[in-house]
Amino acid sequence: MIKSELIEKLAAENPHLFHRDIENIVNAILDEVGDALARGDRVELRGFGAFSVKNRPARVGRNPRTGEQVDVGEKYVPQFKAGKEIRERLNGG
């Protein structure tokens, strides 16, 4: 599901709300999650999961085409851990 599909589904389930208001709400939520991760904060949505930031230290990699060593710098990547309720729904529990 992509963001526009999510907005359409929410609009269909909530006909009393304007489409633009639903779009603004979804964008605000996603922007706040992104901002929190950029600050290094953890975002937990009970029953769904938790987003956090993981540090990947610098390392030496290899160019797959030439086999030449390449320095790969330190970086931060988002990480998601599914919550108990969503894991149970996925596994039919």
Instruction: Kindly report, residue by residue over 42-65, the tens digit of the pLDDT.
Output: 999 998 999 999 999 999 999 999
Instruction: Kindly report, residue by residue over 12-46, the tens digit of the pLDDT.
Output: 999 999 999 999 999 999 999 999 999 999 999 99
If asked whether residues 22 and 47 sit together in one domain, one would say no
CA separation for the pair 83, 89 (Å, rounded): 10
If asked whether residues 35 and 63 sit together in one domain, one would say no
Indicate the pTM of the whole model.
Answer: 0.79
CATH classification at residue 69: 4.10.520.10
Strands 75-82 and 49-56: antiparallel
If asked whether residues 58 and 72 sit together in one domain, one would say yes
CA separation for the pair 68, 28 (Å, rounded): 44
Of the candidates 92, 10, 82, 91, the residue with the CA atom closest to the CA atom of residue 47:
82
If asked whether residues 57 and 32 sit together in one domain, one would say no
For the chain, the domain total comes to 2
If asked whether residues 71 and 35 sit together in one domain, one would say no
Provide CB contacts within 8 A for 60, sequence distance 6+.
69, 70, 71, 72
